[in-house]
Amino acid sequence: MSGRPFAWERSYPAGIAWDATVAISTVPTLLRDAAAAYADAPAIEFRGRQIGYAELGARADATARAFLASGLSPGARVALFLPNTPYHPLAFFGGAMAGLCLVHLSPLDAERELAHKVADSGARVLVTTNIAGMMERARKLLDAGLIDLMVVGDDAEWGAPPGPVSPIPDDPRILSFAAFVSSDGRLAGADGAAELPEVRPEDVALLQYTGGTTGTPKGAILTHANLTAAVSMYETWFLGQAHDRTAQDRIICALPLFHIYALTTILLRGLKRGAELLLRARFDVETTLADIEIGRATHFPGVPTMWIALSAAPGLETRDFSSLVYCGSGGAPLPVEVADRFHRLTGHPLVGGWGMTETSPAGTNRLGTGPSGTIGLPLPGIEMDVAALDDPARVLAPGEIGELRIRGPNVTRGYWNRPAETDGAFVGDWFLTGDIGYMDADGFFFITDRKKDMIISGGFNVYPQMIEQAIYQHPCVEEVLVVGVPDGYRGESAKAFVKLRAGAEPFGLDALQAFLCDKLGRHEMPQALEFRTALPRTAVGKLSKVELRDEERAKRAEQRGAA
């Protein structure tokens, strides 16, 4: 292979080879192997109830047979409209065993977005739960003719529901999950039960919708090969550094399973090695601390907003983190100051990396050491480089800023029903990530911003993420987002939206600029400042700029109208 040895290979930890074999398989094989190897061990704990590996395997198998007996054929799409509940792994693995293509819907999706994803994917069966509000929203899709069958999991199966639930309607188009799986003797494997098909690595396993903050969501096509390759890449990396162990691991899963980060790095990777998943419906600081101190959790993968909240928890330095082996951050850039604060208060380094829905989401990972602000080194089996912004086929030298490109067996083949967008996302077999950054001489990658977020101020390229990292160093700032706003002199300039730490006093724009004067160039300096009690977030808890941009556009249109 040309280019070897790659720069990042020289920076790899001892004992880990970039060209290690990437094991490619299928999702059903992953679960069946785990169920056989760890049959008596607990796979999932939810509300105090444990589901063992053997039980999980048997119930997923029964769900697969129910899908096929309902008339679905391999390749058909099934939508999962589920929060973190055991119904998710049952439906996900059951659908995969049946050779179906799963489609993730977010419980926080707007009705229009739900309708778009269902119609675009062609899913005619939807699995949901009777947690108040969810079944009712799903039924609107049914009544609109977008789906034919709803399968509804009764939340009470997993213990007393923490909130209200709705009765499952008496409607032939709506079945309880229990009735759907157990009817016609499918659970018992009686004669006539549907036979499971052979599932191949190249078969499509998942349509994972992405891009909702920048336009109409599009479904990234992820095959069984993509998902299992990503699991293998992570496994090689983390086993080599003694972060992954086996059945002794207990992983907090507060991240939503409908998101690719939790699906691959927690559900698939955790079950493959026999770990127990502490499945939580949502993130809560005290619940997480209890899982660590009392539940003796060993792994906690989170997103930056979770680490910001934990780092701000009073008395964090007095809590017992001795059980933890791994604290990881992903899903969005982690402010350096947050990582430093957490490390300082707990003694645990926050590691993590970078990835995308389109990469399943394997990409890079950073070590406990390395340059400040890096997203890390490409994982085993992944190639990355940096291309010129004006010519994505031209590769740049180390240190030069351009668009990150990636290729490997974990990378999507394209977008569902979007041939033009698929063509625009690739140069040959290189996927264009939309992230702007550079690689240093040692193979460490850095992201300066998203291509779509870049501000052009006075002719200079300005990267909001760099400004945010600087503002996070201010002792009064808990969270910050920076967006570009119209500027009569510069064309565009940076505006900072800040959430203050509890008890902190607001400060003026002049004071902020004075604080930043040795951290940013004059062209990067924010020209506007606004304090918020809370900053907008996406469905998976990541800070989101889209609402702020929309507000600023609406404000500008109003001003033009008034003039």
Can you give the CATH number for the domain in which 510 is found?
3.30.300.30
Q: What is the mean pLDDT of residues 485-508?
A: 89
Choose one of 389, 423, 452: the last residue of a domain: 452
**Is 532 found in the same domain as 408?**
no
Q: What is the mean pLDDT of residues 425-434?
A: 96
Q: What pLDDT sits at residue 243?
A: 67
Q: What pLDDT sits at residue 245?
A: 65
Is 26 contained in some domain? no
Rounded to two decimals, what is the model's pTM? 0.84
Q: What is the mean pLDDT of residues 204-215?
A: 76
Can you give the CATH number for the domain in which 414 is found?
2.30.38.10
Q: What pLDDT sits at residue 183?
A: 64
Is 208 contained in some domain? yes
Residues whose CB is less than 8 angstroms from the CB of residue 271 and which lie 6 or more positions away in sequence, other chains included: 30, 31, 34, 43, 53, 56, 277
Q: What is the mean pLDDT of residues 423-438?
A: 95
Q: What percent of the chain has pLDDT over 90?
A: 73
Rg for the chain (alpha carbons), in Å? 24
Q: Parallel, antiparallel, or unpaired for β 377-378 and 77-81?
A: unpaired
**Is 476 found in the same domain as 403?**
no
Q: What pLDDT sits at residue 1?
A: 42
Is 12 contained in some domain? no
Is residue 11 pLDDT above 80, yes or no?
yes
The structure tokens 């409209």 sit at 81
Query: Which residue in 502, 492, 509 sits closest to 549, CA to CA?
Result: 492
**Is 532 found in the same domain as 415?**
no
Query: Which residue in 156, 150, 158, 201 sits closest to 24, CA to CA?
Result: 201
Other beta carbons less than 10 A from residue 524's beta carbon: 21
* Full DSSP string of 66-103: HHHHTT--TT-EEEEE--SSTHHHHHHHHHHHTT-EEE
Query: Which residue in 528, 469, 454, 533 sits closest to 496, CA to CA?
Result: 528
Choose one of 221, 240, 267: the last residue of a domain: 221
| Residue 399: domain span | 371-452
**Is 438 found in the same domain as 408?**
yes
Q: What is the mean pLDDT of residues 66-79?
A: 96
Looking at every residue in the chain, the average pLDDT score rounds to 91
Choose one of 158, 191, 221: the last residue of a domain: 221
**Is 192 found in the same domain as 67?**
yes
Is residue 563 pLDDT above 70, yes or no?
no
Q: Parallel, antiparallel, or unpaired for β 204-210 and 445-450?
A: unpaired
Other beta carbons less than 10 A from residue 200's beta carbon: 12
Q: What percent of the chain has pLDDT over 70?
A: 93
> What stretch of H or E contains 339?
helix 336-346
Is residue 494 pLDDT above 90, yes or no?
yes
How far, in Å, CA of 304 to CA of 542, rounded?
Answer: 7
Cβ atoms of 99 and 74 closer than 8 Å? yes
How far, in Å, CA of 258 to CA of 480, rounded?
Answer: 26
Q: What is the mean pLDDT of residues 453-458?
A: 76
> What stretch of H or E contains 288?
helix 285-293
Q: 122-137: per-residue pLDDT in tens?
A: 999 999 999 989 999 9
Q: What pLDDT sits at residue 448?
A: 85
Query: Which residue in 119, 202, 156, 154 sits closest to 416, CA to CA?
Result: 119
**Is 179 found in the same domain as 92?**
yes
Q: 224-272: per-residue pLDDT in tens?
A: 999 999 999 999 998 877 666 666 899 999 999 999 999 999 999 999 9
Is residue 458 pLDDT above 70, yes or no?
no
**Is 170 found in the same domain as 90?**
yes
Is 162 contained in some domain? yes
